[in-house]
């Protein structure tokens, strides 16, 4: 490794092959490099190489001063652009203090001039390797908290006005002891930083042909491309693939793409070359997640769909809002990106408030059972009351009929008694008349006036018949019978004569009358 060479400004000014402003850029990079302290390489005992990227490599080392194992990231390509990017990565990584962002312990230069920084060593595997091991959706859903932790880390970075610009499962380390760490902030950008005129005018760096032709490159869509288009094509937002200005919503798209990969098992964009992937990303051609994985949770699919909207304005504004939406899903609450039916809302409410719903259900069942029993008792009491009312009504009607009958009977009895009384009065009157008539007839017989017997007899018969009729009207059958007997006796004993000459006198044995 060699230090960045410096050139005389006069020579640079006269060199037509050097772009305008390059001298100031080189001078600024050299000045900043000189400000980084030099560190004796004997303070670190180097170990094996852990990873290698487009700009640098990571090796395991042991800090002899503190006796701890660290990861050393060293810059391989010492051009100005790489040095600026390496410097930015070290500064941003050191500024971000979050459990899911790798901590920077030290930054400096080796005695030979190459920059490096020491950071926490996380033993584990990249998330893309872990996803490839999980063959089923259920096995991949277990990894959802890992992406959730990365989303929280990016939400913190967005709160600091810093965007990552190269989020992918390969930059999410899954530790052996449950750690989740977001690494490789080499393309990170401070949204509040003012770009220098030199940086605005410089041409993008093209990747060397050697790197593109390297046989070790097996996954073109998952490699980081530096230059006018910066990022990983398979997880790149359309505006980033087109080389347009980016913001926090670009990271939101990448987080949604990682969720897509987690649920579907494959990245959103699949092509044979990075150019083809970039072209597909620029057009936003993504196979809908619901078609690739029909068993994925619908509300989680809605979150991914909104995070990966082609237009930035339609996405979540930053990773913090996406993280809150993801928390709502993981805690069983309703997410804003999904439109729920009434049945789904009811099911979510029951799932969220299972204890309260269980108690309420038991209470409702008890209320229904108690209410049903009470209703049965009320109905039975009502039936009994109606039965008693019918009995009382029947008895009342019977009493009224009895009273009517008794009143009619009493009236009839009174009427009969009145008629009987009248008849008795008539009978007494007729009896008195009969006695008077009887005495008169006896006097007639004694006086020898038999010629009037027939006349009196007819009158007497009329009188006894009238008496009999009166008693019959009164209902006194015995009196009527006695009246007929008396009438017969009178007819046989006193009035059995054919002519006045044959009428016997009272007291005569042969019935002959004396002259």
- The H-assigned helical ranges of 448-511 are 453-474, 477-493
Nearest-angstrom CA–CA distance, 175 and 389: 85
Residue 229: which of 238, 216, 218 has the closest Cα? Answer: 238
Q: How far is the first Cα of the chain from the last one, in angstroms, to the nearest whole number?
A: 204
Could you count the other beta carbons within 10 Å of the beta carbon of residue 153?
Answer: 23
Side-chain half-sphere exposure of 183, counting CA atoms within 13 A: 28
Q: Which two tokens stand for residue 226?
A: 């530096």
Positions marked catalytic: 166
Sign for the pseudo-dihedral over CA of 355, 360, 362, 363: positive
What are the residues facing 254 on neighbouring strands? none
Q: Which two tokens stand for residue 316?
A: 């979540």
How far does Cα 86 stand from its chain's mean position?
52
Nearest-angstrom CA–CA distance, 369 and 324: 43
Residue 272: which of 207, 220, 225, 209 has the closest Cα? Answer: 220
Non-local CB neighbours of 298 within 8 Å, separated by 6+ positions: 290, 338
Length of the chain: 515
Nearest-angstrom CA–CA distance, 456 and 461: 8
Nearest-angstrom CA–CA distance, 48 and 60: 6
Q: Which two tokens stand for residue 49?
A: 């190489």
Nearest-angstrom CA–CA distance, 33 and 41: 17
Nearest-angstrom CA–CA distance, 233 and 282: 9
Asked whether the beta carbons of 24 and 78 are under 8 A apart, the reply is: no
The pairing of strands 162-163 and 172-175 is unpaired
CA 306, 311, 314 angle in degrees (round to 5)?
A: 45
Could you count the other beta carbons within 10 Å of the beta carbon of residue 342?
Answer: 7
CA 110, 91, 18 angle in degrees (round to 5)?
A: 70
């Amino acid at each position: 490794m060699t230090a960045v060479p410096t050139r005389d400004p006069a020579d640079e000014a006269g060199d037509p092959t050097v772009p305008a402003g390059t001298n100031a850029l080189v001078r600024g990079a050299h000045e900043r490099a000189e400000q980084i302290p030099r560190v004796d390489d004997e303070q670190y005992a180097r170990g094996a190489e852990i990873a290698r990227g487009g700009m640098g490599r990571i090796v395991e080392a042991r800090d002899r001063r503190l006796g701890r194992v660290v990861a050393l990231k060293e810059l391989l390509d010492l051009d100005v652009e790489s040095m600026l990017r390496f410097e930015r990565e070290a500064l941003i990584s050191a500024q971000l203090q979050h459990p899911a962002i790798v901590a920077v312990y030290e930054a400096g230069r080796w005695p030979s001039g190459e920059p490096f920084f020491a950071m926490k060593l996380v033993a584990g595997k990249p998330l893309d390797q872990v996803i490839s091991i999980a063959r089923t959706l259920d096995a991949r859903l277990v990894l959802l908290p890992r992406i959730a932790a990365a989303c929280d880390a990016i939400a913190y970075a967005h709160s600091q006005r810093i965007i990552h610009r190269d989020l992918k499962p390969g930059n999410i380390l899954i530790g052996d002891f449950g750690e989740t760490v977001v690494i490789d902030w080499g393309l990170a950008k401070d949204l509040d930083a003012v770009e220098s005129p030199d940086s605005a005018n410089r041409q993008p760096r093209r990747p060397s042909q050697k790197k593109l032709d390297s046989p070790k490159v097996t996954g073109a869509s998952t490699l980081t491309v530096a230059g006018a288009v910066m990022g990983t094509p398979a997880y790149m937002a359309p505006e980033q693939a087109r080389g347009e200005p980016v913001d926090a919503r670009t990271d939101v798209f990448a987080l949604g793409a990682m969720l897509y990969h987690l649920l579907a098992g494959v990245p959103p964009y699949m092509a044979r070359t990075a150019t083809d992937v970039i072209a597909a990303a620029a057009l936003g051609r993504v196979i809908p997640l619901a078609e690739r994985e029909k068993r994925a949770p619908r509300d989680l699919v809605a979150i991914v769909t909104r995070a990966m909207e082609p237009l930035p304005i339609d996405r979540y504004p930053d990773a913090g809002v996406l993280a809150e939406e993801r928390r709502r899903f993981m805690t069983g609450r309703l997410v804003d990106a999904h439109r729920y039916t009434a049945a789904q809302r009811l099911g979510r409410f029951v799932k969220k408030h299972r204890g309260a719903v269980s108690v309420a259900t038991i209470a409702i069942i008890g209320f229904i059972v108690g209410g049903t029993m009470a209703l049965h008792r009320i109905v039975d009491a009502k039936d009994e009351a109606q039965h008693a009312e019918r009995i009382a009504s029947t008895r009342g009607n019977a009493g009224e009929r009895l009273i009517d009958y008794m009143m009619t009977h009493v009236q009839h009895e009174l009427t009969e008694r009145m008629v009987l009384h009248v008849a008795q009065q008539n009978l007494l009157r007729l009896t008195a008349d009969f006695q008077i008539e009887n005495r008169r007839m006896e006097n007639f017989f004694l006086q020898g006036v038999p010629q009037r017997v027939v006349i009196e007899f007819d009158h007497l018969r009329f009188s006894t018949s009238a008496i009999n009729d009166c008693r019959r009207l009164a209902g006194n059958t015995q009196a009527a019978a006695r009246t007929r007997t008396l009438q017969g006796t009178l007819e046989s004993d006193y009035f059995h004569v054919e002519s006045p000459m044959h009428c016997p006198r009272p007291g005569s044995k042969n019935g002959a009358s004396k002259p």
